[in-house]
Amino acid sequence: MKVYFAPQSRSVRTVWLLEEIGKDYELERFTLGQKEMRGPEYLEINPNGRVPTVEDGDTLISESTAIAQYLGAKYAPELTPGPDAANFAEYLQWLHYAEGMIMPPINTIVVETILLPPDRRNPDNAARAMKLLNRTLLAVEAHMDGREFIAGSFTVADTITGHAVIMSRRLGGDFSALPNLNAYADRLEAREAFKKADAA
Protein backbone atom coordinates (compact mmCIF):
# COMPACT_ATOMS: atom_id res chain seq x y z
CA MET A 1 0.00 0.00 0.00
CA LYS A 2 1.30 3.45 -0.93
CA VAL A 3 0.24 6.67 0.80
CA TYR A 4 0.86 10.03 -0.87
CA PHE A 5 1.65 12.14 2.15
CA ALA A 6 2.64 15.58 3.41
CA PRO A 7 3.39 16.43 7.05
CA GLN A 8 0.93 18.65 8.91
CA SER A 9 -1.89 17.74 6.53
CA ARG A 10 -4.94 15.48 6.49
CA SER A 11 -2.69 12.67 5.30
CA VAL A 12 -1.49 12.30 8.91
CA ARG A 13 -4.96 10.84 9.59
CA THR A 14 -4.37 8.09 7.05
CA VAL A 15 -0.98 7.12 8.42
CA TRP A 16 -2.37 7.22 11.96
CA LEU A 17 -5.13 4.77 11.05
CA LEU A 18 -2.70 2.47 9.25
CA GLU A 19 -0.51 2.48 12.36
CA GLU A 20 -3.54 1.66 14.53
CA ILE A 21 -4.43 -1.21 12.22
CA GLY A 22 -0.84 -2.44 11.92
CA LYS A 23 -0.97 -2.37 8.12
CA ASP A 24 2.30 -1.96 6.22
CA TYR A 25 2.56 1.06 3.93
CA GLU A 26 5.01 3.04 1.86
CA LEU A 27 5.08 6.84 1.98
CA GLU A 28 5.44 8.99 -1.11
CA ARG A 29 6.39 12.28 0.53
CA PHE A 30 5.56 15.82 -0.48
CA THR A 31 5.66 19.12 1.33
CA LEU A 32 2.52 21.25 1.13
CA GLY A 33 2.77 23.58 -1.83
CA GLN A 34 5.49 21.53 -3.52
CA LYS A 35 5.26 22.06 -7.28
CA GLU A 36 5.33 18.31 -7.96
CA MET A 37 1.89 18.05 -6.35
CA ARG A 38 0.56 20.06 -9.31
CA GLY A 39 2.70 18.24 -11.87
CA PRO A 40 1.23 16.01 -14.56
CA GLU A 41 2.47 12.78 -12.96
CA TYR A 42 0.69 13.32 -9.65
CA LEU A 43 -2.36 14.93 -11.26
CA GLU A 44 -2.88 11.61 -13.05
CA ILE A 45 -3.16 10.03 -9.60
CA ASN A 46 -5.09 12.82 -7.87
CA PRO A 47 -6.59 15.42 -10.26
CA ASN A 48 -6.86 17.94 -7.40
CA GLY A 49 -3.18 17.72 -6.56
CA ARG A 50 -3.95 17.08 -2.89
CA VAL A 51 -2.99 14.59 -0.23
CA PRO A 52 -3.74 12.02 0.98
CA THR A 53 -4.17 9.54 -1.82
CA VAL A 54 -3.89 5.81 -1.24
CA GLU A 55 -2.95 3.11 -3.73
CA ASP A 56 -4.01 -0.32 -2.48
CA GLY A 57 -3.35 -2.81 -5.26
CA ASP A 58 -5.60 -1.74 -8.12
CA THR A 59 -7.60 0.60 -5.86
CA LEU A 60 -6.90 4.32 -5.91
CA ILE A 61 -8.76 6.46 -3.40
CA SER A 62 -8.47 10.02 -2.11
CA GLU A 63 -10.32 12.20 0.42
CA SER A 64 -9.20 11.41 3.93
CA THR A 65 -12.57 10.41 5.37
CA ALA A 66 -13.33 8.14 2.40
CA ILE A 67 -9.90 6.56 2.84
CA ALA A 68 -10.63 6.03 6.53
CA GLN A 69 -13.97 4.37 5.79
CA TYR A 70 -12.31 2.17 3.16
CA LEU A 71 -9.43 1.10 5.40
CA GLY A 72 -11.73 0.48 8.34
CA ALA A 73 -14.21 -1.57 6.35
CA LYS A 74 -11.55 -3.62 4.60
CA TYR A 75 -8.91 -4.07 7.26
CA ALA A 76 -10.29 -3.09 10.68
CA PRO A 77 -13.97 -3.93 11.13
CA GLU A 78 -13.39 -3.82 14.89
CA LEU A 79 -12.84 -0.05 14.52
CA THR A 80 -15.82 0.43 12.21
CA PRO A 81 -19.29 0.01 13.78
CA GLY A 82 -21.78 -1.51 11.36
CA PRO A 83 -25.50 -0.83 10.88
CA ASP A 84 -26.49 -3.22 13.66
CA ALA A 85 -24.20 -1.60 16.25
CA ALA A 86 -25.81 0.54 18.94
CA ASN A 87 -23.34 3.35 18.22
CA PHE A 88 -23.63 3.22 14.41
CA ALA A 89 -25.43 6.56 13.95
CA GLU A 90 -23.21 8.23 16.55
CA TYR A 91 -20.14 6.86 14.78
CA LEU A 92 -21.27 8.22 11.39
CA GLN A 93 -22.20 11.61 12.86
CA TRP A 94 -18.74 12.15 14.32
CA LEU A 95 -16.85 10.50 11.49
CA HIS A 96 -18.17 13.22 9.18
CA TYR A 97 -18.34 16.14 11.61
CA ALA A 98 -14.73 17.14 11.04
CA GLU A 99 -15.01 17.76 7.31
CA GLY A 100 -18.46 19.30 7.53
CA MET A 101 -17.85 21.68 10.44
CA ILE A 102 -14.30 21.89 11.82
CA MET A 103 -12.11 21.78 8.75
CA PRO A 104 -13.64 24.66 6.72
CA PRO A 105 -12.55 27.31 9.25
CA ILE A 106 -9.23 25.51 9.77
CA ASN A 107 -8.62 25.72 6.02
CA THR A 108 -9.16 29.47 6.10
CA ILE A 109 -6.90 29.92 9.13
CA VAL A 110 -4.10 27.92 7.52
CA VAL A 111 -4.36 29.87 4.27
CA GLU A 112 -4.50 33.27 5.96
CA THR A 113 -1.77 32.65 8.54
CA ILE A 114 0.60 30.15 6.91
CA LEU A 115 0.21 29.57 3.18
CA LEU A 116 -0.30 33.10 1.87
CA PRO A 117 2.66 35.51 1.84
CA PRO A 118 2.29 38.17 4.58
CA ASP A 119 1.34 40.95 2.15
CA ARG A 120 -1.66 38.94 0.88
CA ARG A 121 -3.07 37.81 4.23
CA ASN A 122 -6.39 39.10 5.51
CA PRO A 123 -6.49 39.18 9.32
CA ASP A 124 -10.25 39.78 9.31
CA ASN A 125 -10.79 36.50 7.43
CA ALA A 126 -8.54 34.68 9.90
CA ALA A 127 -10.34 36.19 12.90
CA ARG A 128 -13.78 35.26 11.55
CA ALA A 129 -12.59 31.73 10.84
CA MET A 130 -11.17 31.36 14.35
CA LYS A 131 -14.47 32.52 15.85
CA LEU A 132 -16.33 29.95 13.76
CA LEU A 133 -13.82 27.22 14.65
CA ASN A 134 -14.28 27.86 18.35
CA ARG A 135 -18.05 27.62 17.91
CA THR A 136 -17.83 24.28 16.06
CA LEU A 137 -15.76 22.83 18.91
CA LEU A 138 -18.50 23.48 21.47
CA ALA A 139 -20.64 20.65 20.11
CA VAL A 140 -17.73 18.22 20.40
CA GLU A 141 -16.98 19.44 23.93
CA ALA A 142 -20.57 18.77 24.99
CA HIS A 143 -20.60 15.37 23.31
CA MET A 144 -17.35 14.30 24.98
CA ASP A 145 -18.66 14.88 28.51
CA GLY A 146 -18.09 11.60 30.35
CA ARG A 147 -16.62 9.90 27.27
CA GLU A 148 -13.15 8.61 26.55
CA PHE A 149 -13.58 8.35 22.77
CA ILE A 150 -16.02 9.91 20.39
CA ALA A 151 -18.25 6.90 19.70
CA GLY A 152 -17.71 4.87 22.86
CA SER A 153 -14.63 2.74 22.23
CA PHE A 154 -11.84 3.93 19.93
CA THR A 155 -13.03 3.91 16.29
CA VAL A 156 -12.03 5.23 12.90
CA ALA A 157 -13.98 8.41 13.77
CA ASP A 158 -11.36 9.31 16.36
CA THR A 159 -8.70 9.45 13.64
CA ILE A 160 -10.81 11.97 11.70
CA THR A 161 -12.66 14.27 14.09
CA GLY A 162 -10.10 13.59 16.82
CA HIS A 163 -7.35 14.70 14.46
CA ALA A 164 -9.33 17.86 13.66
CA VAL A 165 -9.60 18.59 17.39
CA ILE A 166 -5.84 18.18 17.79
CA MET A 167 -5.16 20.49 14.85
CA SER A 168 -7.63 23.06 16.22
CA ARG A 169 -5.68 23.18 19.45
CA ARG A 170 -2.34 23.42 17.66
CA LEU A 171 -3.60 26.28 15.50
CA GLY A 172 -4.59 28.33 18.53
CA GLY A 173 -8.25 27.49 19.01
CA ASP A 174 -9.63 28.62 22.36
CA PHE A 175 -9.47 25.52 24.55
CA SER A 176 -9.50 27.46 27.81
CA ALA A 177 -13.07 26.38 28.59
CA LEU A 178 -12.97 22.99 26.86
CA PRO A 179 -11.77 20.52 29.51
CA ASN A 180 -13.29 17.52 27.77
CA LEU A 181 -11.57 18.32 24.49
CA ASN A 182 -8.25 19.06 26.16
CA ALA A 183 -8.36 15.66 27.85
CA TYR A 184 -9.52 13.99 24.62
CA ALA A 185 -6.72 15.54 22.57
CA ASP A 186 -4.20 14.55 25.23
CA ARG A 187 -5.41 10.93 25.12
CA LEU A 188 -5.17 10.79 21.36
CA GLU A 189 -1.74 12.42 21.19
CA ALA A 190 -0.46 9.88 23.74
CA ARG A 191 -1.33 6.92 21.49
CA GLU A 192 1.76 5.29 19.98
CA ALA A 193 0.12 5.07 16.56
CA PHE A 194 -0.57 8.81 16.59
CA LYS A 195 2.99 9.61 17.67
CA LYS A 196 4.37 7.62 14.73
CA ALA A 197 2.06 9.33 12.27
CA ASP A 198 2.76 12.76 13.71
CA ALA A 199 6.50 12.20 13.37
CA ALA A 200 6.30 10.83 9.83
Expressed as residue numbers, the domain containing 119 is 88-199
Residue type, 68: A
Residues 106 and 18 in one domain: no
Q: State the pTM of this model.
A: 0.94
Q: Within 10 A of 108 (CB to CB), how many other CB atoms are there? A: 18
Q: What is the CATH number of the domain that holds 23?
A: 3.40.30.10
What confidence tens digit (pLDDT) does each residue in 20-77 have? Answer: 999 999 999 998 878 898 999 999 999 999 999 999 999 999 999 999 999 999 999 9
Q: Which amino acid is at 80?
A: T
pLDDT band at 191 (very low <50, low <70, confident <90, very high): very high
The answer to whether 17 touches 54, Cβ cutoff 8 Å, is no
pLDDT in tens, 110-153: 999 988 999 999 999 999 999 999 999 999 999 999 999 999 99
Same domain, 57 and 130: no
| Residue 117 and residue 139 in one domain | yes
Rounded to whole angstroms, the maximal C-alpha distance in the chain is 53
Statement to judge: residues 68 and 7 lie in one domain: yes
